[in-house]
């Protein structure tokens, strides 16, 4: 059964026209979904009873069933395990900050990229999520926050899966969330992270979206990067960074390079200086975070001291760098830790 979140407003309007319903009914349903966060046909009390019944028969209003939930000790990070209609599972995370409520959402069940330090990559690829299943993750948390008098402030598409491997569904979901008539979530408050699928980055550049782009880089030379990210064998650094330069030049938007700092592997000042030489003149920023532990990888997180030296080497060469705080590590909710276990 299809979820209503899979339809765009024009698609919903056309469907209702086929049912003999006036166009304004589509607007009523759209408003119920994205402004009031209704989760069942019965909640659409402004609609005729017969239409509500037909919607209930035709659409799944709850494509994601929360199967388990874990909260960090400080209560600021909440991870939810969702069961999909076919019995597969995904995870998504809500991270609370002083003035922000950031969602980390998934685009695939599993992942085909095989990055060695990522728990999702270690579990392998199962399937793409539909655009509706991607949107539904946001609506689940938006509904919860709304009930608490709060709202989603940021969305990072950095959960399970490679968003650009599921490009069409990911972008359809982004467009639906950004729709001024619907959820009206600002594109500049959405960040999409990719391991570096160059053709998709170039397509993304041509579409001139206002969505932020982040690249999982993690190494400044091809050999080291390929040892951690198999995709690097298909898209060498020079090719990837050329696509990033073109993106920044065409859109005027800053590229974020994500870097998991692994002790003795990629946390050296030499790696920092090599990276700086390769991105010189590009509008970019490095987001470094000590490696989050996963069961399938033996590498260790860098120390604070080594992280600071890495940052200083970058900034000394003119590349801005932030060392991010790790969140939700004890509940396996940090970057690279999302996976379905057992």
φ/ψ (deg, to 5) at 179:
-55, 120
Collapsing DSSP states into helix, strand and coil, what is residue 70? strand
Domains of the chain, by residue range, sit at: 2-60, 65-331
Instruction: Give per-10-residue mean pLDDT for the chain (342 aa).
Output: 91 96 95 94 95 95 91 87 94 91 96 88 91 97 95 96 98 96 94 97 95 96 95 96 96 95 94 96 94 79 93 96 69 49 50
Any idea which residues carry the catalytic annotation?
A: 91, 335
Query: Both tokens of residue 205?
Result: 């550049």
DSSP codes of every residue in 105-162: --SEEE-SS--TT-HHHHH-EEEEPPHHHHHHHHHHHHHHHHHTT----EEEE-SSS-
Work out the number of other CB atoms within 10 angstroms of the CB of residue 185. 22
pLDDT number for residue 333: 45
pLDDT at 171: 97
| pLDDT score, position 339 | 52
pTM confidence score: 0.93
**CATH number corresponding to 65-331:** 3.20.20.70
What is the per-residue pLDDT for 119? 79
What is the 3-state secondary structure of 290-338? ECCCCCCCCCCECCHHHHHHHHHHHHHCCCCEEECCCCCHHHCCCCCCC
Instruction: Reply yes or no on domain 2-60 having CATH 3.90.1200.10.
Output: no
Which pLDDT value is given to residue 329?
53
């Amino acid at each position: 059964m299809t979820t209503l979140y899979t339809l765009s407003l024009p698609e919903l309007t056309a469907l209702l026209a086929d049912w003999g319903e006036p166009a304004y009914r589509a607007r009523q349903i759209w408003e119920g979904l994205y402004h009031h966060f209704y989760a069942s046909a019965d909640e659409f009390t402004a609609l005729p009873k017969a239409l509500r019944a037909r919607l209930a028969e035709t659409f799944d209003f709850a494509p994601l069933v929360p199967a388990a939930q874990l909260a960090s000790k400080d209560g600021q990070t909440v991870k939810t395990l969702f069961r999909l209609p076919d019995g597969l599972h995904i995870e998504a995370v809500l991270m609370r900050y002083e003035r922000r409520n950031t969602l980390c959402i998934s685009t695939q069940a599993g992942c085909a990229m095989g990055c060695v330090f990522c728990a999702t990559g270690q579990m392998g690829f199962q399937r793409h999520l539909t655009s509706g299943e991607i949107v539904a993750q946001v609506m689940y948390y938006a509904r919860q926050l709304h009930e608490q008098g709060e709202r989603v402030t940021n969305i990072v598409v950095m959960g399970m899966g490679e968003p650009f491997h599921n490009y069409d569904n990911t972008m359809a979901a982004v467009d639906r969330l950004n729709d001024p008539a619907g959820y009206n979530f600002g594109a500049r408050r959405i960040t999409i992270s990719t391991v570096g699928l160059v053709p998709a980055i170039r397509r993304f550049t041509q579409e001139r979206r206002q969505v932020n782009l982040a690249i999982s880089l993690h190494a400044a030379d091809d050999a080291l990067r390929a040892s951690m990210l198999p995709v690097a064998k298909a898209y060498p650094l020079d090719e990837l960074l050329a696509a990033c330069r073109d993106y920044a030049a065409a859109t005027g938007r800053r590229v974020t390079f994500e870097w998991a700092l692994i002790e003795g592997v990629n946390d050296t000042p030499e790696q920092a200086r090599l990276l700086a030489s390769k991105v010189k003149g590009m509008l970019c920023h490095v987001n470094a975070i000590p490696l989050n532990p996963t069961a399938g990888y033996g590498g260790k997180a860098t120390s604070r001291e080594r992280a600071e030296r890495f940052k200083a080497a970058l900034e000394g060469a003119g590349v801005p760098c932030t060392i991010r705080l790790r969140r939700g590590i004890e509940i396996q909710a940090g970057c690279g830790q999302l996976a379905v276990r057992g």
